Amino acid sequence: MRLGVAVSGAGSNLRNLVERGFDVVAVATNRPACGAAAFARECGIPLAELPQKNYASTEERDAAMRDFFKGQGVELVVDAGYDRIHSGAFVGAFRDRIVNVHPSLLPEFGGGMDAIEQALQAGAKRTGATVHVVTADLDAGPVLIQEEVEVLDGDSPETLRARVHEAEHRILPQAIRLMEARLAKSPAVG
């Protein structure tokens, strides 16, 4: 299945997908200087650089991302460390074909970019990672897979984040396989 990956960060999830042989045909970023974008360039994967400052609105930026992904024949969009919310039109253009990885056991610690810090501040004994289908509601679409991660005494944001990332690197590929199986039964999008 042809994957379009949206990224803003270091790119460990993108790298993991490429190393595991997933068919990443396009990468889009709102942060051209991020590690994930550099990795896409190194690999020669078609990359769309879509910084918000180049667009009058979120809708226009997302329309450009939609056109890019559609033009590359993307069948499933993977938000892998993408730090923006998609417009309703983008979600509609890829209805039930967008997944997101989030560093907590949703619905716990949803709705922000600091889920690891939130878990530590709350004194949680466990947190984890979630892959869910993206709908119009932030961090609230149907959950595909979750993996629990124990919070250890003395964990810092960095040590906990490293273990949550390991969980993400296991469950994101599994969730994409699930979506592939599911979408194989439904007609392709136009």
Interface residues toward ligand GRF, by CB under 6 A: 9-13, 36, 80-81, 101-103, 165, 168
Residue 158, C-beta contacts closer than 8 angstroms, at least 6 positions apart: none
Using CB positions, name the residue nearest to ligand GRF.
Answer: 81
Residue whose CB is less far from ligand GRF, 87 or 100: 100
74 or 129, CB closer to ligand GRF?
Answer: 129
Active site residue 165: no
Nearest approach, Cβ of 85 to ligand GRF (angstroms)? 12
Do residues 24 and 5 make contact, with C-beta atoms less than 8 angstroms apart? yes
Q: What is the DSSP letter of 113?
A: S
Euclidean distance between CA atoms 64 and 51, whole angstroms: 11
Q: In what order do the strands lie in the sheet with 143-150?
A: 47-49, 24-29, 3-7, 76-79, 98-102, 126-133, 143-150
Instruction: For the CB of residue 179, give the shortest distance to ligand GRF in the complex, in Å.
Output: 17
To ligand GRF, the closest distance from the beta carbon of 186 in angstroms equals 26
The smaller minimum CB distance to ligand GRF, of residues 67 and 150, is found at 150
Kindly state the smallest distance separating residue 115's Cβ from ligand GRF, in Å: 8
Tokens in use for 118? 């939130």
- CA dist 30 and 121 (Å) reads 29
Which CB, 13 or 30, lies closer to ligand GRF? 13
Q: Tell me the C-alpha distance between 141 and 96, whole Å.
A: 9
Choose the catalytic residue: 86, 102, 132, 165: 102
Residues annotated as catalytic are 102
